[in-house]
Amino acid sequence: MSDSAVLDLARDLLSRPSVTPHDQGCQSLLIQRLEAVGFECEIMVFEDVTNLWARRGRASPLLVFAGHTDVVPTGPLEQWLSNPFVPTERNGILYGRGAADMKSSIAAFVVAVEEFLAGNADHDGSIALLITSDEEGPSINGTVKVCETLSRRGARFDYCIVGEPTSADTLGDVVKNGRRGSLSGRLVVKGKQGHVAYPHLARNPIHMLAPALAELTEKTWDTGNAYFPPTTFQVSNLNSGTGATNVVPGTATLDFNFRFSTASKPETLKQYTEAILDKHNLDYDLVWTLGGEPFLTPPGELSAALTQAILDETGIQTQMSTTGGTSDGRFIARMCPQVIEFGPINASIHQVNEHIRIDTLDPLKNIYRRTLQHLLSVR
């Protein structure tokens, strides 16, 4: 055992190979700790995904910590300096899959709650944890299903901290008070296959697509706002051809994605896109996938409490940001007016030799505890 309760719990969690959607006993470990300090714990299973909802108290306001015990696959094992599921310390750094994303956050919050309750047993409000094993996967049987279930029961969150690794260079330098939405499309442009020597007998879908694609890439979709950069359109894949050099292909398939702000709506982006395709007289099929709506938490009680906690613990004036990909915060924001993401430095997430500096674990825990004290201590 070390002299850090956070490090001990983080090591225990990291030793469990909980690759999406498997939990491998992580949530059972958390239940043991949480029930010991008065939490009522409920396991919610949807398909192959295990989720934990743990709550202490019934009064308002309710502060929720949200996170995930699942991790991404390890990648090439031979490139790891140590077994990714044997937490290893070298030169003040803890290595293991999930060290930064986000088992250390979960460990820090559990210990923060324990310490807070030791001195504030009669605190205001309530505390809860929402933990899933489906954040790194398709995200269809995890947090979204738990939120839907709780909403049907009439539950309402007041504050939520998602423990995603948001810090850039130093612990506490960046927190996320929102995220852009994600809208993807798969476009199949239909032409007519033929011999390249007889182009008048064929219709090349690549040639037909090119002018429309140029217009899509050059269009200004919106100008963003005070919290978000402008919406972006990016092509992720363009595929066509039969493999032969003398054949005009019959179809061309384009995969693209919008990362959009609150200045745009999915339906509007769809309408504009289809209007451009129709303008160029394309024969096409288009399938849309909405990965998530954008969400935004304007300055309020939660951001003020977390900002002050970071300043008190680290001396850093944090920066609010909405950059990056999607997170489970998009589901929680449907039932919670104030959702903020904050966690460790994110430089090694999803990489081989994922790691976290050990000397950031207790400060991370202290920031979570200080936030609890700001929001829920008896006044």
pLDDT digits (tens, 9 = 90+) for 252-275: 999 999 999 999 999 999 999 999
Other Cβ atoms within 10 Å of 134 Cβ, number: 27
Decide if pLDDT at 379 tops 60. Answer: no
Q: Residue 368 half-sphere exposure, CB side, CA atoms within 13 Å?
A: 35
Q: Is the pLDDT of residue 151 over 80?
A: yes
Asked whether 191 and 253 are in contact (CB, 8 A), the reply is no
- Mean pLDDT rounded to a whole number for the chain: 96
8 A C-beta contact, residue 97 and residue 84? yes
Q: Tell me the pLDDT tens digit for each residue of 160-199.
A: 999 999 999 999 999 999 999 999 999 999 999 999 999 9
Between CA 206 and CA 74 the distance in angstroms is 38
> CB of 144 within 8 A of CB of 292?
no
Q: Computed over its alpha carbons, how large is the radius of gyration of the chain?
A: 24
- Please, which pLDDT band fits residue 118 given cuts at 50, 70 and 90? very high
Annotate 147-177 with b (16+ C-beta within 10 A) or e (fewer). beebeeeebebbbbbbbbbbbeeebbbbbbb
Q: What pLDDT score does 230 carry? A: 94
Please tell me the predicted confidence (pLDDT) of residue 71. 98
Q: How many CB atoms lie within 10 A of CB 77?
A: 9
pLDDT, mean of residues 72-95: 97
The catalytic site residues sit at 70, 135
What pLDDT is stored for residue 1 in this prediction? 62
What six digits make up the tokens of 9?
């719990």
pTM of the complete model beyond 0.95: no
Give the number of other CB atoms < 10 A from CB of residue 54. Answer: 24
Whether residue 378 is predicted with pLDDT greater than 80 in this model: the reply is no
Closest CA to 113 of 373, 374, 379: 373
CB 364 within 8 Å of CB 8: no
Note the Cα 334 to chain centre separation in Å.
Answer: 15
- Asked whether the predicted pLDDT for residue 147 surpasses 70, the reply is yes
Measured distance CA(280)–CA(297) in Å, rounded: 40
Give 336's contacts (C-beta < 8 A, 6+ positions apart). 64, 156, 157, 158, 159, 160
Q: pLDDT value at position 324?
A: 84
What is the structure's pLDDT at 185? 98
Dump pLDDT digits (tens) for 86-98: 999 999 999 999 9
